[in-house]
Amino acid sequence: SSGVLASILKADGSSCVSDEVIAQIDTAAVAGVVAATAAAPASASAPVAAPAAPVASSAAASGVAMPAAAKLMADNKLATGSVPGTGKDGRITKGDVLQAVASGAASPAATMVPLPAVASLPLGERPEERVPMTRLRARIAERLLQSQASNAILTTFNEVNMAPVMDMRKKFQEKFEKEHGVKLGFMSFFVKAAVHALKKYPVLNASVDGNDIIYHGYFDIGIAVGSPRGLVVPIIRNADQMGFADIEKKIAEFGQKAKDGKLSLEEMTGGTFSISNG
């Protein structure tokens, strides 16, 4: 259908939201013009009406802030009337706002109207149950807090070529298990590698006590083991004096004890370095 633009409801440069009415179209006017034309065609000598003079938009546009200026005014809490516009037809530009901010034309702070207090709703029953921790869980929590307070916590990533270890494990796996009664895993290799590195860099095997650094002459390696109650870290004492089979047997023993809940506090206390095969 056709129509005649009757009026524009939004000023030039202003923003609008979706589905907002911005203009009015008069379809009846077109119908009347078409009917009149069909009933009485205009003669060739009829003078052509001069186009209507455009309505000056300065009155409507005056005081209208451009989008960037409007945002800047909102950020600085400036009222529209406090910023004179120097743009076309009196529009407020970003420069006008910056000038107003520089001259201290901030609008007075709006009076804060206190909101009515919201009535508190009844919360109903909020049951709680207090269960004392086991000695094991209490010691784990204590050690975690102690570790965070006394250790330098950092993360680093280094890639190594595991192909030789995997080939060796594959080659001797069956013979190793028959001879020692335990599978040859990766953790024994990791323990041996850790001990070798700690001997080369003894400060990593040290601990801090007050203002002193204690360098340990032994290598007690903590091994992370899963249990029904969570992750536990039993200690392999004097790992530097143990062979692959001894390490694997100790790890298997710790795994079974963790599963049965029979690890003692002494078995999880005093490690100098820990490993997790995660």
Q: Out of 33-47, 173-187, 216-230, which region has the weakest mean confidence (pLDDT)? A: 33-47
Query: Token pair 């790890």 is at which residue?
Result: 251
Q: Residue 195's beta-bridge partner residues? A: none
Alpha-carbon separation of residue 164 from 29, 72, 170, 200 (angstroms)? 91, 65, 10, 22
Q: Does 21 or 105 have the greater pLDDT score?
A: 21
Show me where the domains of the chain are located: 159-275
Q: Give pLDDT, residue 56.
A: 43
Mean predicted confidence (pLDDT) in 52-73: 62
Q: What is the pLDDT of residues 266-275, one digit of tens each?
A: 998 889 999 9
Nearest to 191, CA basis, from 129, 117, 245: 245
Q: Distance between alpha carbon 175 and the CA centroid of its chain, in Å?
A: 51
- Quote the pLDDT of residue 79: 78
225 DSSP β-pair partners: 232
The amino acid occupying position 66 is: M
Q: Which of 11-25, 69-83, 161-175, 243-257 has the lowest mean pLDDT?
A: 11-25
The pLDDT of 8-37, averaged and rounded, is 65
Confidence of residue 27 (pLDDT cuts 50, 70, 90): low
How far CA 183 is from CA of 18, 169, 188, 246, in Å, comes to 69, 10, 10, 11
> What was the pLDDT predicted at 172?
95
Task: Please state, as a whole number, how many other Cβ atoms lie within 10 Å of the Cβ of residue 13.
Answer: 18
159-275 classified as CATH 3.60.21.10: no
CA separation for the pair 50, 72 (Å, rounded): 44
HEC string of 33-59 equals HHHHHHHCCCCCCCCCCCCCCCCCCHH
**How far is Cα of residue 59 from the mean position of the Cα atoms in its chain?**
49
Quick one: pLDDT at residue 168?
95
Residue that has been written with the tokens 């307070």 in this structure: 149
Q: What is the CA radius of gyration of the chain?
A: 42
- In angstroms, the CA 277 to CA 226 distance is 11
pLDDT value of position 260? 92
Tell me the average pLDDT across 109-129.
61
